Chains A and B, each alone.
Chain A
Amino acid sequence: GIQVEQSPPDLILQEGANSTLRCNFSDSVNNLQWFHQNPWGQLINLFYIPSGTKQNGRLSATTVATERYSLLYISSSQTTDSGVYFCAANYKLSFGAGTTVTVRA
């Protein structure tokens, strides 16, 4: 099956900082999603982004399908952005191992 790799594994930010999370996938995809898992374990769907760029508030995502990677941008980070960010490929959602983001006040 498809392999999904995320980097970096951990990220510590000062409140207000910007950051970029990366997701590489081993094969072409028909679906690419970004999720946020909050410290209580709830997974929230952030973006459906098999290609192109989308923005939602301080978050934006870009997928370059031909080069098999996707990026998630967090701007002006807040403590509520803390948690684990996952990308997942294809309709059955093959997840990467996640990037743990900690935003310090």
Chain B
Amino acid sequence: EAGVAQSPRYKIIEKRQSVAFWCNPISGHATLYWYQQILGQGPKLLIQFQNNGVVDDSQLPKDRFSAERLKGVDSTLKIQPAKLEDSAVYLCASSLIPRGDYGYTFGSGTRLTVV
């Protein structure tokens, strides 16, 4: 079974530029999550999708972050314009259904550096 694919692996941009990250979850997984992990901290949920609908985006800074999951499969997360404090690893995860006993599979993440 292929894992959760994310790209790019690394990205360096200047502040005020825009950036986009891509995630392809495990085939058949209806639930997709984006997390932000700042160095030295645990991941923080940004947005949760169920199929192509948003379940929770309460912690997404909507003035600069946006995300979509077209056709309920892959997803993109965009930041525009980026700030220095957005430097972090952006992790995508998927699960078959949003129940803990079904487990969670994380991608390798995209490490963003804003300079």
Contact = CB atoms under 8 A, between A and B. Distances in A.
A98 B43 CA distance: 10
Interface residues of B, number: 24
A97 B42 contact: yes
Contacts of A97: 40-42
A43 interface: yes
Interface string B58-91: 0000000000000000000000000000000101
Interface stretch (B13-21, B22-30, B94-102): B94-102
A69 interface: no
Most chain A CB within 10 A, of B43, B100, B101, B105, is at B100
A92 B45 contact: yes
Interface stretch (A13-21, A28-36, A75-83): A28-36
A101 to B, nearest CB: 15
Interface residues of A, number: 23
Which of A44, A48, A86, A96 has the most chain B CB within a 10 Å cutoff?
Answer: A48
A41 B43 contact: no
Nearest to A4: B42
Given A41-B89, A41-B109, A93 B45 contact: yes
A80 to B, nearest CB: 18
A95 B98 contact: no
A91 B98 CA distance: 6
Contacts of B93: 43, 93
A31 B99 contact: yes
18 contacts: A30-B100, A33-B100, A33-B104, A41-B108, A42-B106, A43-B43, A43-B91, A43-B93, A45-B105, A48-B101, A48-B103, A86-B42, A91-B99, A92-B45, A93-B93, A97-B41, A97-B42, A98-B41
